[in-house]
Structure 1
Amino acid sequence: MKDLKQFNIPFIGLKEGSHLFEYHIDKTFFEAYQFDDFNDCAVNTTVDFVKKSNLMELNFTINGSVNVPCDMTGELFNQEIDGTLHLIVKFGHEYNDDNDEILILPNEAYQINISQYIYELIILSVPNKRVHPKVLDGTMESEALEKLEELRIDEDKTVEEKTTDPRWDKLKDLLTDK
């Protein structure tokens, strides 16, 4: 990942205690990951980095918006997102990120790159079904919605009974004669 050096945190020189890092994420961040589902992005990220004697805690908080197409109409809109992630960093013999909440770095590591965690947090904070707010309140006007309204089955209208073969009607009479 080129151009993501700004997300390296050299923890070896930091004193024990809490340190705050702030980042503004835009579309260029996602271009580094070759992710193009967002048309635009404006997300503020804060990382509360707590260094302790034998481990580190990282608390990620994001809030902002991503410009995405509506799943129903295809219209672009700004989807508000927010999310948090808590990560514990420990030291061991080799790198291990099998656990989602615990990262093990080699003993000789001197910095951590947090860009992957920010990327995943933003992606997972976007809802699976993205619906334009105007669709939800009924003020959206688009060709797709007009076509959906035209093809909608109205449950209030009574469905006319289909004509059946009179031979079957005689069998139905047997059931009701009891």
Structure 2
Amino acid sequence: MVKMETYKIEIKALADGTYQHEYHLDDNFFSAIEDAEVTKGDVRVQLIVKKIEGTFDFKFLLNGVVKVQCNRCLDEMDYQIDAENGFTVKYGKENIDEGDKLVITEDCNEIDLTWYLYEFVALELPITCTHAEGECNSEMESLLQKYSGAKESQEEGEPVDSRWSELKKLIDNN
């Protein structure tokens, strides 16, 4: 993964208080992330950092649109991102990442937010991204129907294996 200077925050020099940063995650940001599901987008991020006695609370507000691949027709589609995420950073004896709690050593001067920013966007994506009904590429949907292996319905006159009929009766009785 490419580390980008723009997304690093020097935390060692921060005095107690609240700090705000704004970031723009564009196509360049997403394309720099290796093996990313999202490669294009336009997401605005507002970061609020509160430092109180050696503890840093990071709060991220994300809003924008990313381009993802439709799992049904494979065309590119827009997906709206509107999220709030965050984590807490404290100093400790060794580096520990526990999801929403991050412990760093005293010699750590800065935090690279690149991966966190990408991860917060990726966590907003559903498991399956598909266009709304009727918006998929009709050519691809036709091919999907043709090659999916699912038969529309048993054609009339075509004999059904009696074993399947018996199994169907068992299912219907339960």
The two structures share one fold, judged by TM-score above 0.5 = yes
**Unaligned 5+ runs, structure 2:** 163-174
Distance 1:146 1:9, change over 3 A: same
AA aligned to 1:144 is M
Is the CA contact 1:27–1:38 (under 8 Å) kept in the aligned structure 2? no
Give the Cα separation in 2 of the matches to 1:39 and 1:120: 13
- 2: CA distance, partners of 1:163 / 1:10: 71
Superposition deviation, residue 83 in structure 1: 2.5
* Alpha carbons of structure 1 residues 14 and 160: separation in structure 2 relative to 1, 3 Å: same
Q: 1:141 to 1:90 in 2, by over 3 A?
A: closer
**1:59 offset after TM fit, Å?**
0.9
What is the DSSP-based 3-state SS (H/G/I as helix, E as strand, rest coil) of the residue aligned with 1:87? strand
1:162 aligned to 2:159? yes
1:108 alignment partner in structure 2: 107
Does residue 123 in structure 1 map to residue 119 in structure 2?
no
TM-score by length of 1: 0.75
Write out per-residue CA displacement over residues 33-69 of structure 1, whole angstroms, 9 at most, x where no aligned residue. 2235434211111111111112110011212111122
The count of aligned residue pairs is: 160
- Matched residue of 1:85: which SS? strand
Counting strand residues as a fraction of each chain, which structure ranks higher? Answer: 2
| CA–CA separation in structure 2 for the residues paired with 1:116 and 1:110 | 17
Cα deviation code 1:67-110 (max 9, x no counterpart): 1221111221111123222201011112221x101101112322
Mapped contact 1:90–1:105 kept (Cα < 8 A): yes
Question: Which amino acid is 1:162 matched to?
Answer: P
Letter in 2 for 1:108: D
Q: Percent identity?
A: 24
Distance across 1 between alignment mates of 2:22 and 2:161 = 72
Partner of residue 175, structure 1: none
